Amino acid sequence: MKIKNLAVALFMALLGAAIALFAYTRIVEKPSALTEYDSSNVEVPGSSAILTSYAMQEGQVDFTYAAELTVHAVVHVKTKTMMGSQATNPILEWFYGERYSRPREVKGFGSGVIISPDGYIITNNHVIEGADNVDVKLNDNREFTAEVVGRDPSTDIALLKIKADKLPYIKYGDSEELKLGEWVLAVGNPFNLTSTVTAGIVSAKGRSLGILDTDYRIESFIQTDAALNMGNSGGALVNTRGLLVGITSAIVSPSGAYAGNSFAIPITIVRKVVEDLKEFGEVQRAIMGVIIKDITSGEAEKQKLKEVKGVLITGMTEKGSADEAGLKENDIILRFNNVNVATSAELQEQIGKYRPGDKVSVTYLRNGRQNTVPVVLKNIAGNTGVVKPGEGSAVVFGARIEPLNQSERKSLNIDYGVKVTELNDGRFKDLGIRTGYIILSINSKKVRNAAEVREASGNESSLKSIEGVQSNGTYFSFQFKN
């Protein structure tokens, strides 16, 4: 009997041990939901680099791959400008000597992004504007003198070229794919330091800051909280895959130093500008021929819109692209080539992707009805031809002229006119026209650009009258006999 009880007890003990072992393997050895296996040792398509993070917890992001891939392709841009002598001031010269009135050298610095192995570099226009010399220092400390291939004040982009090959470069990404909250890196040269990397998230898209003062400005910035400071301008904004999604350009700050918001030009705008400068030497800017503003809640209510989104047309250019397509003042643009546009900045960004002569579709709202029409985009001269270098600010009668910017038109309370920005031998110089003069009409015809000056003067063959404003603000009017 005792033997039987002992056998039962032994059996029960073995059974209990088996149950305990089974439970242990099913519960204790089961991987925790918070445990991540290392799956980062994978090659990125199109690159020999390997991600090297190890067992990162959920929510963490590794920036080492993007940083290593891009830091060597960001350069230091240095400029030199000789400032002209100041007006003679005997009192200041008595204190400071003759050096006060002598020309002086002014240095500047910023960043640039190599976009091809043969030495093409993107930077901001404001980094190199007015510079007499532009030098580039690579991340490996080699230095080169750069050629300015072209620049575009309307987007604040400039293209440089150095004589070098087999350079590291950053590939283009797609800024339209960026999502709010997505991580990005800013790579640049703040405070004259070598390449520096900061990280942040995309805070907003399609921001317009009003910092570019040109008629055809395109402002649709990517806003991030990646730290930028003086010298970062012209640097790279890249995603975590190391692809170029923007060119860092500006900060909003009461002190002049980083204060939490930084802004970059979307690569969709940059890429088109760069391609134009390389191919034509001048940006082939498409124009719709409309004056626009963001829709307001009052206008949305009036038009019975479900959301306060869209772009209101407040003015039209006669015989412009929109006018010829049948668009009218007070129409509300909702989509441009099947892309929704909620603000003026978003519409400008979409138009900026196209060239004169391109045919697009515009969906708009009028009197509660939605319509879609084809629109053939034109250039700043009002046609679909290729704009040659200098035609945006062309030379007429020996003077280089440019359309008035918004602030100049506002100060004079006019919506037309051209400004003399450079004067060489020719009819205007003979008449006493000076740099800074604003020309309002030629042969009693209002002028807004070089093409209209040529048209009004019969391609510079006839000059019967000219009216305008001198640099001191006084009006002038010349009449000539046949």
Catalytic residues: 126, 156, 233
Alpha-carbon span 264 to 250, nearest angstrom: 7
- Contacts of 267 by beta carbon, 8 Å cutoff, 6+ apart: 172, 173, 174, 175, 244, 245, 246, 247
Whether the CB-CB separation of 137 and 75 falls below 8 Å is answered with yes
Helices (H) and strands (E) in the chain, counts: 11, 26
Q: How many CA atoms lie within 13 A of 460 on its CB side?
A: 11
Burial of 122 (0-12, 13-18, 19+ CB in 10 A): buried
Residues 6+ apart with CB under 8 A from 294: 311, 312, 343, 344
Give the E-state strand segments of 280-329 in sequence order: 290-294, 311-316
Give SS3 for 440. strand
Report which secondary-structure segment, H or E, holds 110: strand 104-114
Helix (H) or strand (E) holding 180, with range, is none
Give the HSE-up count for residue 316: Cα atoms under 13 Å, Cβ half-sphere: 14
Pairing of strands 120-124, 236-239: unpaired
C-alpha to C-alpha distance for 362 and 350, rounded to whole angstroms: 11
Coil vs helix vs strand at 410: helix
User: Considering only CA atoms, which of 394, 361, 364 is closest in space to residue 379?
Assistant: 394
CA 463/CA 480 separation, integer angstroms: 7
Which residues lie closer than 8 Å to 467 by C-beta, 6 or more apart? 439, 440, 441, 475, 476, 477, 478
Give the span between the Cα atoms of 68 and 87, in whole angstroms: 51
Residue 77 gets the label, from left (phi > 0), alpha (psi -120 to 50) or beta, of beta
Side chain identity, residue 438: I
Tokens of 472: 């001191």
